[in-house]
Amino acid sequence: DAGVIQSPRHEVTEMGQEVTLRCKPISGHDYLFWYRQTMMRGLELLIYFNNNVPIDDSGMPEDRFSAKMPNASFSTLKIQPSEPRDSAVYFCASSRTGGQNTEAFFGQGTRLTVV
């Protein structure tokens, strides 16, 4: 398996623009997580899904952020409008239910810069 695939790897956008980050989880994984990494706040959970249904979105900073998972193999994280403080590395991760297979596998991340 190719692992968790995120696109784009880098995104530079102007303040006020819409940004969409994409994630393809590992096939067969039923959990998908979005995390954000910054120097100041470390790794923060934004939202996670189980079987395409959002379970916990309490980490989503504000209404400018939204996430969807239309099917088991694709998820998006959208920021509209973007602000400079949204600059961070955004990671997608996936894991599967069952037994002791509880670890999450991470994608390479999308480095977002809002200018």
Partner 1 sequence: AQSVAQPEDQVNVAEGNPLTVKCTYSVSGNPYLFWYVQYPNRGLQFLLKYITGDNLVKGSYGFEAEFNKSQTSFHLKKPSALVSDSALYFCAVRDHTGRRALTFGSGTRLQVQP
For the bound state, the minimum distance from the C-beta of residue 4 to partner 1, rounded and expressed in Å, comes to: 8
CB atoms within 10 A of CB 46: 20
Q: How many residues bind partner 1 (CB under 8 A)?
A: 23
16 vs 61, beta carbon nearer partner 1: 61
50 vs 66, beta carbon nearer partner 1: 50
Figure out which of the listed residues 7, 52, 57, 106 binds partner 1, where binding follows CB under 8 A.
Answer: 106
Instruction: Write b or e for each residue in 59-76: b if 16 or more Cβ atoms lie within 10 A of its Cβ, otherwise e.
Output: ebeeeebebebeebeebe
Residue 37, judged by CB atoms within 10 A of its CB (0-12, 13-18, 19+), counts as middle
What mask, x for binding partner 1 by CB under 8 A, covers residues 58 to 87? ------------------------------
In Å, the largest CA–CA distance within the chain is 45
Residue with tokens 């623009």: 17
Figure out which of the listed residues 1, 2, 42, 62 binds partner 1, where binding follows CB under 8 A.
Answer: 42
> Prior bond to 70 cis, omega within 30?
no
Which residue ranges make up the site for partner 1 (CB under 8 A)? 4, 31, 33, 42-43, 45, 48, 50, 55-56, 91, 93, 95, 100, 102-109, 111
